[in-house]
Structure 1
Amino acid sequence: MLHQTSIRDVPRRSLRCTLVERVLRAVCVAAILSAPVGAHAEGLVGQPAPDFALRSLGDANLRLSEHLGDVIIINFWATWCGPCRQEMPLLDEIYNKYKLAGLTLLSINIDDTSERATEMARTLKVTYPVLFDERKEVSRAYEVGSMPVTVLIDREGVVRYVSEGFKPGYEKRYTEQLRKLLNDE
């Protein structure tokens, strides 16, 4: 004989665990299904950096390949990203310290429109070029799946280092990698 249990028969504690487990499973499945396939910029390390041309804050178009021979940092960011806001002034310090040694820094905003990005770049007083990837073509080419993403490219145009996300102290990692690339002439 089949015994049916109603929800009233299940102890409250066990019911809560079951509901929590179901919610957690649903959240995990949703996260997995919504994650972009292959969205891991680290897979680009050792590969030639995809070339691009984007409009800059000053309205001029800048092309990555124009900077071949320099060590390049590309930083992907968005206005809604708190860690991006923390990282940008630190990148500006790195840029100002090493630009005479052959460093180029290209900051690529991925917002849908450039207005808020322009305001944020001006508020933070960054001195490096700010580019706009409103159609997300460049961020797709670099397999950007999180914010921010920082990419270091050697003088021959090969991706040598990728960092996804930002926490205070990451700028020291960038500087270590950058020094290796600038001294590798």
Structure 2
Amino acid sequence: MKTAFKSLLAAFLLACGAGASQAETLDVAAPDFTLKSRSGENLRLEDHRGQVVMLNFWASWCGPCRQEMPLMNDIYGQYKDLGFTILAVNVDENREEALRFLESVPVNYPILYDPESQVSELYQVQAMPTTVMIDRNGQARYIHYGFKPGYEDDYEQQIRELIRE
């Protein structure tokens, strides 16, 4: 499964360039992982099977992340009762930097920590932020690199599509 995801992602990166910012359609199993959450518990992607998951990789130094996260929080509030969640994976080596960021940009969705970039490498994250939309069956269906105003509309369209399936 991990190899299939990496192969498909590598082909996309070659075709579009690592800095591509448009969404790409995928249909490959999302690699499972377990990370420590802000609440202190371990969260596993597989435990969210049956939900639509927006997997978002972000960093405290990322300006577009600062723009995107409040919009994602609104999306989370709107769709969380319909079988949707966000797992936001922070890639900072120092958790304190992430916590300071979250003081100025508070969010209600789960925050996970990947200080050694193991999950980021598993998903071959090339840009901040990177967002992967995962369907209820655990298939990675869309991937987005970067963020520009208006991307949140694409996120909502994809979330509605995946919730309806």
**TM-score category, normalised to shorter length:** 0.7 to 0.9
Superposed CA deviations along residues 106-164 of structure 1, whole A, max 9, x for unmatched, are 00000111111012123211000100000101001111001100110000000011110
Matched residues in 2 for 1:136 and 1:88: separation?
20
Residue ranges of structure 2 left out of the alignment (5+ in a row)? 1-9
Which segments of structure 1 move beyond 2 Å, counting only runs of 4 or more? 38-44
Matched residues in 1 for 2:99 and 2:78: separation?
23
Letter of the 2:32 partner, please give it: D
Q: If each structure's strand is expressed as a fraction of its own residues, which one has the higher value?
A: 2
What does residue 174 of structure 1 align with? 155
What does residue 108 of structure 2 align with? 127
Which of residues 81, 88, 101 in structure 1 aligns to 2:69? Answer: 88
By relative contact order (CA 8 Å, sep 6+), the higher-ranking structure is 2
Matched residues in 2 for 1:133 and 1:98: separation?
25
Matched residues in 2 for 1:64 and 1:169: separation?
27
What does residue 45 of structure 2 align with? 64
CA contact (8 A) 1:152 1:162 kept: yes
Is 1:55 aligned with 2:36?
Answer: yes
Give the structure-1-normalised TM-score: 0.76
Shift of 1:44: 8.5
CA contact (8 A) 1:74 1:152 kept: yes
CA contact (8 A) 1:121 1:130 kept: no
> SS of the residue aligned with 2:29?
coil
In our comparison, the structure showing a higher alpha carbon Rg is 1
Which of residues 156, 161, 164 in structure 1 aligns to 2:142? Answer: 161
> SS of the residue aligned with 1:47?
strand
Is 1:110 aligned with 2:116?
Answer: no
What does residue 34 of structure 1 align with? none
What does residue 75 of structure 1 align with? 56
Superposed CA deviations along residues 11-48 of structure 1, whole A, max 9, x for unmatched, are xxxxxxxxxxxxxxxxxxxxxxxxxxx49497882110
CA contact (8 A) 1:72 1:104 kept: yes
Equivalenced residue count is 148
> SS of the residue aligned with 2:131?
strand
Which of residues 121, 138, 141 in structure 1 aligns to 2:119? Answer: 138
Matched residues in 1 for 2:110 and 2:101: separation?
13
Say if 1:144 and 1:50 are closer, same or farther in 2 by CA, change over 3 A: same
CA contact (8 A) 2:24 2:142 kept: no
Give the structure-2-normalised TM-score: 0.85
